[in-house]
Structure 1
Amino acid sequence: MDSGANSYRRFLEGDRNSFTELVAEYWDGLTLYLTGFAESFSEAEELAEETFLKLYTDKPKFSGKSTFKTWLFSVGRYTAYNYIRKRRKIQQAPIDEFYHISDREDIEKNHIQSDDRRLLHRTMEKLPPDYRQVLYLVYFENFSNTETAVIMKKSERQVRNLLYRAKGALKKLLEKEGFEYEEL
């Protein structure tokens, strides 16, 4: 049993401190993943907050058929899709651009240290959402193709094909930016 599943089980048994452990362990990765669905980093933070709120209030059952992290990212994905569906019905006022920029800079400073990784992150933002998701899940969060397929609700073959096309598209964009690499 992985540490996330263990912490979640303890939370369900009444240990409130274990929930804090979950948030500390998975907040950054989940928030970065959800930026692929959100219009801004602050919106991705709200989606991550909503995901953890669902765990805290609804206490959904974790079956153990996948890793806890895979399950959590799936819950986050559903949360994001529900949010996007509601947002389409009700147009909200745009978020202050300066707030959005400062948040993006903070996340880059905290999680993307080198210039090459910063370029990679900015270039990935230009990719279609499915390409960003599959690259992020496989290469940044180290999910297997099987786990990625579960999160994205696709077959493993679709994930392999999507990953192949996403790497090709990213390679073209990086070459346009003048990025030199050994292997992508």
Structure 2
Amino acid sequence: MNINELEHIPPQSQLKPCLVIGYGNTLRGDDGAGQKVAEIVADWELAQVRSLPAHQLTPEFAALLAESELAIFVDVYPVTELAIAESAEAEIKAIPIHPSTYRHDTSVCEGAGHAVDPHSLLCLAEVAYGHAPTAWWILIPATNFEFSEQLSSLAQAGIAKALQKIEQIVERGGTQPGN
């Protein structure tokens, strides 16, 4: 997303209750898995979901977050081949981001410069716009960060699991899957 796209934000009545932001570098192997998830979710064409692939999180996303009821961030986390061998399988992580982690500690907003993490972006939405949505951070295991557009089999499997988790979270309106 660039700053020019923000000029075309629809009125609040037309915004989606759920915002999915998948981010990472598509030219660095598995790092692009978050963007791939966002592209697939966008292809679902769900009326209540807006899905955006991005190279990185930037402060400009705060306005969209402030007008959403639910946010799902999708990125990768590095795992080693040894860790995979020892545990048989690396799993995706679905981490609820509780409002208390950013609403009562605005110091997380201090890092909201060029690139930010989900916590500081939610804090920025809260401080600048008066609202931050319920949020989840989905992390896909990744092993390949070489210059490549190819995803490892581990990341591909993680994408499939992440999509299932997103579907569960959206169906439950942001509550913990399984509750």
TM-score (normalizing by structure 2): 0.26
* Rg (Cα) greater in structure: 1
Structure of higher RCO (CA pairs closer than 8 Å, 6+ residues apart): 2
| Higher helix content, 1 or 2 | 1
